[in-house]
Amino acid sequence: MHPYRTHTCGELGKDQAGQEVKLSGWVNRKRDHGGVIFIDLRDHYGLSQVVINPGQDFFETAERVRNESVITVVGEVVLRDDEAINPNMVTGEIEVVAKSFHVESTCEQLPFTVNQDLDCPEETRLEYRFLDLRREGMQKNIKLRAQTAMLVRKHLTERGFTEYNTPILGNSSPEGARDYLVPSRHYPGQFYALPQAPQQFKQLLMVSGFDKYFQIAPCFRDEDARADRSPGEFYQIDMEMSYITQDELFAELEVLMVRLFTELSDKKVNAEQFPRIPFLESMEKYGSDKPDIRFDMPMVDCTDLFGNCELKVFASQLKTGGAIKVLNGKGAANHSRKFFDDAEKYAKSEGAFGLAWIALRDGEMKGPIVKFLSEDERAALKERMGMEEGDALFFGAGKRDETNSLMGKVRNYLGDKLELIDPNLAAFCWIVDFPMFEFNEEFQKIDFSHNPFSMPQGGMEALETMEPLDVLAYQYDIVCNGVELSSGAIRNHRPEVMLKAFEIAGYDESTVKDKFPALWKAFHFGAPPHGGIAPGFDRIVMLLADEPNIREIIAFPLNQKAQDLLMGAPGNVFPKQLEELHLEIIYPEVEEEVSTD
């Protein structure tokens, strides 16, 4: 017999009744019923109930064993009595009556409960991640992550893609987030950079003649954590194709996303062909370039209706170039005054001075600002907003960009509070027609707004004849349920266009050649038109698992402060290591507090 197991804890059933089996696993739960000990034994595959009768020479050992200790049991599979069958367990029709019992490894006092998904401080969970990962929910999430990776590889291979690996040690480039730098031992004062993405390498693969590339690629960015972004490192489904149009790329991604969400979750997908929303339209209607379109509550521009309004904050917007944006909360008028007060409190927490509202009840408009509106203004507002009995309107007024952003957040808040969001829907959309450039207020200069390697719409002519902020690019984002999954672009493949684009962003020819030598050279030797995208693998799994926090689907994540509490990283190194790397640490000065005693 095998030294540890003949079966897993999740596979025994009626067919094994009468057989002698050996099981190994963790003590998930232990119960003493009138002198008979019942142990739910757990492994990666499931649970089996083990029965230990009094009189066995190992009975006292079983009494003392703690939850999460590892044991090996030999016993006979017997059918449970009808009243003892547990329909909630795959193995609920049988139990194993122990004939031998061996403790492989004992467990000390647990820092938190493992056999239930009870609340526990995240720092404790991350410090003892090996325990946290034993929990049923975490096991399910990490298995889902593996299943997602397998399906991505299977699907893309079937579609003619080939997986190629790209380097981890590369060169730092001037665009994007902060790099993680790796000092060179052989070249004092010089550094490698961990890749923020395999962007240049995958483009070079296209120039090299490889037609359809993908990899589930690790990426490294020294940026702060968010609920949907892990600090330090993340993975993306990196893809690139030659001789591809934007429409063809969209179709390729839509097939992949629909398959992932229909095969790996119970969610409905909003469409096989995802709606396309121009960037500027998205900002005006949703206040965001990653809109949640599971519910229909667009912001409506009503600035022109209030040019002569008695309410000065409304009337002034038409003269100053500001905006009045209005949301129609369907059915919100039927809620209590507290609902409106809470909505205003939320808006203020996001930086608003207040949140004006009007409710339509019993055929009459009611609310704090109604008295300031003329009959004509009320009628025009009601018509434009499609306002019906039971609806409530919510108003934002001020600078257009600030108002759009603020009311976009209010829109999401109201969608949640009014229960307009279907949790079982995966609502995808494409955001298209991004501006090629944006104005950097901090440095008072033109910057790339998205990907510097994108092809401008209109090509070289657009760069030479149009105002930079008016140039659009073949850039796009794919969004699901308000989460940006990826940015992508049809790439520029012409050196003169590359040079002109970087010139507009303030980089001279020498910088382009120095920072992007490979692409600069490659584009002079016959580069095919190409394009790509890189959906965030972690974010996709997060949505499939219905987890609000990305750390719930990563086996060993960093915390929000970019620390690995399990391994103790980042940490100190030995002086000899610094000497080999020709580095000296200069610590920031800390001002000493002056005593006033």
**What do you get for the CA distance between the two ends of the chain, in Å?**
77
Of 105, 132, 151, which marks where a domain is finished? 105
d(CA 224, CA 159): 36
pLDDT at 591: 64
Residues contacting residue 389 through CB under 8 Å, at least 6 positions apart: 333, 360, 361, 362, 363
Q: Chain-centre distance of CA 326, in angstroms?
A: 29
Q: Does residue 548 lie in a domain region?
A: no
Low-confidence stretches of the chain (pLDDT < 50) are none
pLDDT for 14: 94
Residue 56 structural domain? 14-105
Using the 3D structure, point to which of 357, 386, 421 is the last residue of a domain: 421
Number of structural domains (the chain) is: 2
pLDDT of residue 405: 97
Within a domain: 326 = yes
* DSSP 8-state code for residue 593: P
DSSP state of 469: G
Task: Report which DSSP code applies to 78.
Answer: E
Tokens standing for 425?
A: 């829907």
* Residue (of 268, 252, 183) closest to 476 by Cα position: 252
Residue 586 lies in a domain: no
Helix or strand run (H / E) with residue 143: helix 136-158
Q: How far apart are CA 53 and CA 28, in angstroms?
A: 19
pLDDT at position 229 is 75
pLDDT value of position 595: 55
Q: What does the pLDDT read at residue 552? A: 96
Q: For residues 530 and 202, what is the distance between their CA atoms, to the nearest angstrom?
A: 10
The pLDDT score that the predictor gives to residue 53 is: 96
503-548 confidence digits (pLDDT tens)? 999 999 998 998 889 999 999 999 999 999 999 999 999 999 999 9
Residue 38 is assigned to a structural domain of this protein? yes
440-462 per-position pLDDT tens digit: 988 899 999 878 889 999 999 99
Beta partners for residue 27, in sequence order: 41
| Dihedrals phi, psi of 84, to nearest 5 degrees | -100, -5
In the prediction, which pLDDT does 594 show?
54
CATH number for the domain that contains residue 360: 3.30.1360.30
Q: Is residue 50 included in any domain, yes or no?
A: yes
User: What is the pLDDT, as a whole number, of residue 303?
Assistant: 96
